Amino acid sequence: MRITCTVNGRPQVADSVWAGESLLYVLRERLGLPGSKNACEQGECGSCSVYLDGTLVCACLVLGGQADGREIVTVEGLSNGDSLHPVQQAFVEAGAVQCGFCTPGLVVATHDLLRRVPRPSDAQIREALAGNICRCTGYAKIIDAVHLAAGRMGAA
């Protein structure tokens, strides 16, 4: 089947999609957007987090056909050309990235948190990022990065 959707503001068409294919597979394998990572395919790790019609979801749990006609924003859609989004910049500067596999999902989930809660507490950050697993950093620097981004975005 064919899926037509808007990804990062651009109309996209994916052809010969199998009916059981996830949005994650469509994004990575059909549309050439490898930013969203595939680690567990069962909603546990959050590394495939994207916006679907403005809502944070795990792309691996959305059936491709469910995204037909919808608007998707992936991590690739957050930066402004070559200049990183303040959330991305903060992750780099705070040392919140080691292997980087979890980073795209955490960046999107942090972006979602900060548009709802501009100055989150540690507890609110932990709650909001509970569905994003990182096996490298131990989370302390991720929490630093969220505070750093929140401070800069609030000041801007």
Partner 1 sequence: MEFLQPTSWPEALTMKAAHPEAMPIAGGTDVMVEVNLDRHRPAAIIDLTRVAELTEWGGEGDLLRIGSGVTYARIIDELGDRLPGLAMASRTVGSPQIRNRGTVGGNLGSASPAGDAHPPLLAMDALVELASVHGSRRLPVSEFFIGPKRNAARPEELIAAFLIHPASGPQQFSKVGTRNAMVIAVCSFALALDPKRRRIGTGIGSAAPTPVTAADAERFMAGVLEEAGLWERPSEVDASAIARFGELVAAAARPIDDVRGTAAYRRHALSVLARRSFTWAWLEYQRSA
Ligand X SMILES: Cc1cc2nc3c(=O)[nH]c(=O)nc-3n(C[C@H](O)[C@H](O)[C@H](O)COP(=O)(O)OP(=O)(O)OC[C@H]3O[C@@H](n4cnc5c(N)ncnc54)[C@H](O)[C@@H]3O)c2cc1C
Instruction: Give contact residues for ligand FES (rule: CB under 6 A).
Output: 38-41, 43-48, 58, 60, 97-102, 134-137
Q: Please give the Cα distance from 67 to 105 (Å, whole number).
A: 18
- Residues in the interface with partner 1 (CB under 8 A) total 29
Closest CB to ligand FES among 102 and 128? Answer: 102
The contact pattern for ligand X, residues 67-86, with x = CB under 6 A and - = no contact, is --------------------
Q: Which is nearer to partner 1, 66 or 84 (CB)?
A: 66
The dihedral through the CA atoms of 33, 37, 43, 49 has a sign that is negative
Of the ranges 21-29, 37-45, 68-76, 144-152, which one interacts with ligand X (CB under 6 A)?
37-45
H-state helical runs in the chain: 23-25, 86-94, 103-116, 122-128, 140-155
Residue type, 40: C
Sheet with 3-7, side-by-side order of all strands: 10-14, 3-7, 71-73, 49-52, 55-58
Cα separation, 80 vs 121, in Å, equals 27
Nearer to ligand FES, 44 or 122 (CB): 44
Residue of 79, 93, 131, 136 that binds partner 1 (CB under 8 A): 131
Q: Among 1, 43, 92, 95, which residue interacts with ligand X (rule: CB under 6 A)?
A: 43
Distance CA 37, CA 100 (A): 10
Judged by CB under 6 A, the number of residues near ligand X is 3
Nearest to 28 by CA among 20, 16, 36: 36
Binding site for ligand X (CB under 6 A): 42-44
Binding site for partner 1 (CB under 8 A): 1, 18-20, 22, 41-44, 46, 49, 55-58, 60-63, 65-66, 68, 109, 112, 127-128, 130-132
